[in-house]
Structures are given as structure tokens and as C-alpha cells.
Amino acid sequence: MTSATAPTIDASGITAPDYATILTWLQAQYHSIFGSDVYLGNDSQDGQFLGIVAAAINDSNMAVIAAWNSAGPATAQGEALSSRVKINGISRAVATNSQVAVTLVGQAGATINNGVVQDANGNKWSLPSVVVIPPGGSITVTATCQTIGSISASAGTVNKIATPTLGWQTVTNASAASAGNPVETDAQLRKRQAQSVALPSVTVLGGILGAVQAVSGVVAATVYENDTDAADANSQPAHSIAAVVKGGNSADIARAIMLKKTPGTYTHGTTVVSVTDDIGIPHTIRYFQPADAAMAVEVRLKALSGYTTAVAALIQQAVTDYINGLGIGATVMLARLYLPAQLNGGSQSSTFEVLTVKAALKPGSPAASDVTVAFNALASCAVADVSIVVVP
């Protein structure tokens, strides 16, 4: 095979001719051998044969390009990307299940084996394998969602017994579920890989952030610094750092902070962990676990031709995904909510016209103003908390 059909590697990367170019070249070679009067249309046997050969060459070229691109994290995909990021000391985050604390009420001594409860959306949550109702008649245990990923459940919505058991009467959840995480996408992993190169940085703050983000299980993190002589607007003490971290093991996070911070720097936060260094000296490390800034959103729209409840569900999901993708302490800006509310200009966006978008922290009512989220909080939104109001 000549270079006319083979991939080419130069200073700008790797390229290869497309299928049409390959087929044209093969037809030219065929005519040079058997004569230019040979008919090679798509309805001819020879033309179809050359098409098969061109497709095989094109497939081979694509495989070569994919192999070349897999050599670097910026272009690798799937398993190749998972392998490449290991050189940065990180790995792809696996999916986790949502969890919720549920209170079970029943007769003292009743035993619940492999119990399952259900929320208002039909999601099922597994109880510990064996639960015994104590003499007081109630017990609080942790239920794990059977569906992997970010499954939300507001307070009071996990209230159905899916496996009726003698002596077990009711179930409810006093607080919202702690949402799990889906499998980390290639785009998310590339972003985290780019951040991880800050680990050996000359900037201490960047090094701390990179070290924390590299801790297994960490899905979001940020670090604040107050280098002044007085507490700042966030009540962060003078000459201190404050890390806000979601996910991960607290001991691993604290150790990452301890190893990267400069001596004598105070760490600010409500999660307090004692870490012993390599020479046996204990250090008290503090950081924040982000508070849940649950949002309520109202999208007021005018229905056009083709609008259905299925479109409304798409809007709810798009708004929810946008808010849940915001970073720690990020303000929820109404102007930016309009894009997901309009389905990012997708094909279904022509079936309605967004009139207004309002938002607020729960339990407040949605209003026409940006929502400020605390520096140590993370905005979240459930599909059920996005209301769609259709006006004439």
C-alpha cells in the first residue's frame, strides 16, 4: 500500500484520507491497469469490490488513528484513558450508590431480613441484611439504593415498604438522601487529569488542591486561602487555608492536606482529623464537607406545536443536570439557566418558548434573581424540584 491511502504523521498530528479519497485512488489504479473504459459504477461487480477494499482500508486507518490517540490523556478514550491517567496517580472514579437514613417503626423484636423500601419515584432501597426492631419500637438504619448513580430522594419520600414483614409497620426518611455518583465520563476524567498535574506545582495552594483531587473517591474540591491579618467575609481565620471536599476518605484527605501545606499554616473547617506524619508527630487537620444547597426552580413557558409532557421531563432533567454540575460555592445564575431550560437548542426546543426562569434555595419560593451559594456548599437539584408552568 502506498502513502496515498495510508495514515500520515507530521508535526500537527496524525491524519488519514477519507473513504471517498481511498475509493477514488483505487478506481484510478484499476483504470491504469485494465483501461479507462472499464465501468466501475456502484451497480457493477468490480465497483462493489473496490468499495469493499476501500472500506477495509478506511477501517484500518481509523484503528491506527485510535491507537495513536490513545497514547495521550487528551485524546485517549475509554479503557485507554483509564490506563493513561495512572501516570498521574489517579484512576477513573467508579459509580456509587445513593444512601439514605430511614427510620423503621414496628413491634419490638420484629426481625426484618433483606428488607427493601421504596421512594415516591419507585426507586428501591435495600436495608442492612438483618434489622431487629429494638424495645423502643423504632430504629434508624442506612438504606442503599439498588440503582447505581445519583438517585435523589427528598425528606419524607422514602415511605413505602416493598417487602412486607410481620411486625414492621412504617418507614420514613427524616432527611434527604446522599446522592451517589455515576461512572466518571471521559470528559470528567480528562478535566481531573489536567488538574492533577498541579500536584508538583510550585504554588502551594495548587499543590494542595491537586493532592486532594487525587484522593480516591473525591468528586469535587476547592481550596480557599486567607493571607490577611484578619478573618475574611467567610469567617476564615487569618493566615489559613480552607479546603472544601466532597467524597473520599477523611483520613486520606487530611493526610493529603498535611503533606502539601506549609509548616505552621492553620487549616479551617468543621471536619477535624488527627493525622500522624512519617516521624510520628500528630497533626490536626480541618476541612469542610460541602453542605447541600438544595435548589427549587420554576420554568414558565408557552407551549407550541409538538409540546408534550415528555418534553417537560427533558427540560426538568436538563436543568437538574446543569445545577448538579456546578462547582463548590458556585452562584446559580438565572441567565445561564435559560440555556438548559431551552434544551440547549436541541430539536425539541422548537416546541416551546421559555418565558421566565426563577430559582431559590429550598424551602424558599423561586424568585427572579441569582442564588448565592455559600463558599462551603454545593448546589443540588432534584428533578421533582423543577416545576414546569405552562401559560396560555
- For the stretch 352-381, pLDDT in tens is 999 999 999 999 999 999 999 999 999 999
**3-state SS, residue 163:** coil
Least confident range from 73-77, 235-239, 310-314: namely 73-77
Instruction: Show the DSSP H helices in 144-272 as ranges.
Output: 186-196, 204-213, 250-260
Bridge partner residues of 131 (DSSP): 112
Query: Which pLDDT does position 192 carry in this prediction?
Result: 79
21: part of which helix (H) or strand (E)?
helix 19-34
In degrees and rounded to multiples of 5, residue 138 shows phi and psi of -150, 155
Within 13 A of 342's CA, how many CA atoms are on the CB side?
A: 13
Distance of alpha carbon 194 from alpha carbon 210, whole angstroms: 9
Phi, psi at residue 17, to the nearest 5°? Answer: -65, 150
- DSSP letter string over 183-210? PPPHHHHHHHHHHHTTTT-SSHHHHHHH
pLDDT of amino acid 202: 56
Instruction: Please determine, for residue 85, whether its predicted confidence score (pLDDT) is greater than 90.
Output: no
Identify the weakest region by mean pLDDT among 146-150, 235-239, 376-380: 146-150
pLDDT reported for residue 205:
84
Q: Can you give the pTM of this predicted structure?
A: 0.53
Which phi and psi (to 5°) does residue 227 adopt?
A: -100, 15
Q: What is the pLDDT of residue 198?
A: 63
> Percent helix, strand, coil in the chain (nearest 5)?
30, 30, 40
Question: What pLDDT score was predicted for residue 1?
Answer: 44
Q: What is the mean pLDDT of residues 51-78?
A: 87
Q: Is the pLDDT of residue 199 over 70?
A: no
- Which of 126, 120, 108 shows the shortest CA–CA distance to 160? 120
Give the side-chain half-sphere CA count within 13 A for 374: 14
User: Which pLDDT band, with edges at 50, 70 and 90, does 76 fall under?
Assistant: confident
Split at pLDDT 50, 70, 90, the class of 3 is low
Distance between CA 389 and CA 188 in Å, rounded?
A: 33
H helices, E strands: number in the chain: 8, 19
